[in-house]
A and B are shown apart, each in its own frame.
Chain A
């Protein structure tokens, strides 16, 4: 409560007293038009980029008559393209054509763009600001003496990761391509999967300093237009200095910022984004991160892996049941163990109780403390395993096996049954296809354990009820988080507890696919050919 009030106070203060000073790259003077006076323009650009060691001003003379300059950021342009397709034609052609043809200076830009430069993406601008922006985007700016236009030659080229298998969402069957940090690569990966003009990619720039490119992508005619408008509005409302990862965006556009549950799906898999677009959802691709966001999202969709749709439907269905079971284990097993052993030992079969009791005989802690020690050390091991350099990773797994294992039992600090409980819980918390959901469940385990330790099974029940109430209230872009189970929608259940075969997936899910409901014209159930009599 204290923190909330403080936040609130701070917000209201900053609103009332003065507009906060936000960082900005623009200074009023630099909005100017290009003058066409070569030295002035170059000087002003140099002022903008002073103390930047990576800026390159390459000055040259066309046919010894006209001065020109190429401006770019070193490392963000493809030098080879600039050399062979910009510089070479400019310097070669200049001698003959420039002199013979009488081109007015104001058309010089167009002439160069159309006839000289061998680069497909060239645009023309007239302000310093435009020039600065293009330079920062990795374009090369060409200025000529006497011309009040600048040519923006797009010959971007920087080092980037190639398309690799997504590390966080491996599959056995399915495409092995994952998004990269490069936005254009990512849009192309999507476009290759949905070759239709209905696939829209609205570009945006967010972040005053980072100027991060964002693409809102959806299938026109499938998605609800109001949803697109909502996403657009929420994204354009973001006024922040920088966006470094999709997590920034996720937290800034959530419906309920205080919920532990993720309200936007994040994925590295283009096929997953494509599949979600087909269900009438919206993808948000962000530059410099391989993680795309998908909104809206429901709780159950996060228990679905993209592989569910590639494998046989019976297999997928059973695997889904397994996930539901594991969800229960990951959330409840330690707390059930605590509750039953400390409050309701009569619930265990006698032989099991005796085994548990014999294991607990030497343990000096109450079951709750025992569970807490084990769970915290497990979470610590997991976190250390993520952060540790590869070279020492093995050491951690060896030590980890000792801590959560036989050694701890033999030392009499924890009971063997607790080790089993923690191990099973640990395994099952990694079964979730969406990592952010798995971590939410892992986090919720601790309050659950506390409730179990104070109130037994009753406490667990109360905690589950509170959780359910919270989840039932939660919305992701207006879609109820527990839909289609609550509120119930029977036709959409075909893809929740079971995965119906593809020939039976006639409709799009009801939450988002109302606008264009049919996936296929009719039930496409294949049949063996009829024997002719």
Chain B
């Protein structure tokens, strides 16, 4: 009987222990789906949260209306720092603000220029927010991005996430961003988000957030933007390219027209080369593409012609890479490609002795040779464009 006593006492004691303290019902939390951080003119930090309204998100019949009403709402407040602002925000909001499902953080231009690291600290330390949320930057105020009502997704945050997943821009999570900040020989870069109308040229037809380029940083401060075309170059150079199309124009003397290919695999290898005490970067790109559109009159069944098209593609890719390389080197002086890091990995000693301190100065002068090798592996079944007859 005594044997039985102990477990029984233990079981009873479970209930007088301090359980329940962190218990919160799901209808008492405000689920934050996205966070926007701006710096106001007076130097205060404003956080704007996109909060899901559950009763409008559910299926019809289960309490949700599923109608035209907005599924999310914005709440915002200013404060000395992110912590202060969020506390003030909590004061005026009935439900407990719950950051765990904040999947995107969008930071405005002014805040980004002043330095991102202090802003991220709150999210990096906090128990609730997760580091796997994407980080994005916007020209102007970040709050604007979250405001428009979503048209196909349930909430705009989801739309941004899906667009990022499509591989259009840099896919940088908070943890990646902080990682880039901490790593030697690489500067952070992240996707730029902006509002774009869904129908070309019609402003009032409805808008969607879109990934429009790249924000480039030196340390944690924003130094400039790159457009979509340059972003492709950045992706190539960072070996992050996954999907994409390349369209090249066949010159007039060869018959003209355009050829479009889709990327199957793309791989970039960066190799630092030491030549007489000078460092050179060799960037080898190897990509396999699939021919999707042939608007020219070229006979692609001919291996020689195919090789010619490949050369055209290689030139195009090389141009893009050179363009973004030029901007990073000459305009922004920011090594977002991690050349310094690959140098450090290959020649750690040399890096420590010569480059570590003055990489900022060395990088803009760095000689980079780009050697793309693109092979068209599939040309489809109808090789030649049909000849039109009267």
Contact = CB atoms under 8 A, between A and B. Distances in A.
Contacts of A296: none
Interface in B94-147: 98, 100-101, 103, 128, 130
A89 to B, nearest CB: 65
B26 A455 contact: no
A346 B99 CA distance: 9
A345 interface: yes
B63 A361 contact: yes
A454 interface: yes
Contacts of B358: none
A14 B83 CA distance: 71
B27 A361 contact: yes
Given A1-B8, A366-B25, A454-B19, A361 B55 contact: yes
Size band of the A side of the interface?
Answer: 35 or more
A497 B22 CA distance: 38
A345 B130 contact: no
A358 B63 CA distance: 7
A454 B14 contact: yes
Contacts of B69: none
B256 interface: no
Nearest to B5: A1
B1 A358 contact: no
Nearest to A406: B61
Contacts of A8: 1
A355 B101 contact: no
A460 interface: no
Interface residues of B, number: 39
Contact of A358 (B17, B54, B98): B54
Contacts of B27: 357, 360-361, 363
A513 interface: no
B62 A416 contact: yes
Interface string B1-34: 1001101100100110101101111110101010
A459 B103 CA distance: 29
Interface in B24-68: 24-27, 29, 31, 33, 52, 54-59, 61-64
Interface in B186-210: none
A454 B4 contact: no
Contact of B26 (A367, A416, A451, A462): A367
A342 B23 contact: yes
A483 to B, nearest CB: 22
B100 A343 contact: no
Interface stretch (A26-34, A53-61, A167-175, A407-415): A407-415
Contact of B58 (A5, A341, A355, A456): A355
Given A367-B25, A410-B61, A454-B15, A357 B8 contact: no
A354 B54 contact: yes
B15 A353 contact: no
B318 interface: no
Interface string B77-95: 0000000000000000000
B19 A360 contact: no
Nearest to B61: A410
B154 interface: yes
B78 to A, nearest CB: 27
A359 interface: yes
Contacts of A415: 62
B101 A346 contact: yes
A215 to B, nearest CB: 35
Contacts of B19: 454-455, 459
A1 B31 CA distance: 46
A489 interface: no
Nearest to A355: B58
Interface string A440-457: 000000000001011110
Interface string A444-480: 0000000101111001001000100000000000000
A341 B5 contact: no
A470 B5 CA distance: 14
Interface string A325-364: 0000000000000000111011000110111111111110
B241 to A, nearest CB: 28
A60 to B, nearest CB: 63
Interface string A1-22: 1001100100000000000000
Contact of B31 (A350, A409, A459): A350
B124 to A, nearest CB: 16
B147 to A, nearest CB: 19
A361 B25 contact: no
A359 B101 contact: no
Interface in B233-292: none
Contacts of B62: 358-359, 409, 415-416
Contact of A454 (B20, B61, B158): B20
Nearest to A451: B14
Interface in B289-313: none
Contacts of A357: 26-27, 29, 31, 52, 54, 57-58
Contacts of B31: 345, 350, 353-354, 357
A346 B130 contact: yes
A8 B57 CA distance: 60
The listed residue with most B CB atoms (<10 A of its CB), out of A350, A358, A456, is: A358
The listed residue with most A CB atoms (<10 A of its CB), out of B26, B33, B59, B98, is: B26
B32 to A, nearest CB: 10
B63 A412 contact: yes
Interface string A198-223: 00000000000000000000000000
Contacts of A416: 62
B8 A358 contact: no
B56 to A, nearest CB: 8
B55 A358 contact: yes
A354 B52 contact: yes
B33 A358 contact: no
A351 B57 CA distance: 10
Contact of A346 (B5, B23, B100, B154): B100
Interface of B: 1, 4-5, 7-8, 11, 14-15, 17, 19-20, 22-27, 29, 31, 33, 52, 54-59, 61-64, 98, 100-101, 103, 128, 130, 154, 158
Given A343-B22, A350-B33, 15 more contacts: A345-B100, A350-B101, A350-B103, A351-B158, A353-B101, A355-B57, A357-B54, A358-B56, A360-B26, A367-B25, A454-B19, A455-B14, A455-B19, A456-B23, A466-B11
19 contacts: A5-B1, A8-B1, A341-B26, A342-B23, A343-B22, A343-B23, A351-B154, A353-B31, A355-B57, A357-B52, A357-B54, A358-B59, A358-B62, A359-B62, A359-B63, A360-B27, A362-B55, A416-B62, A451-B14
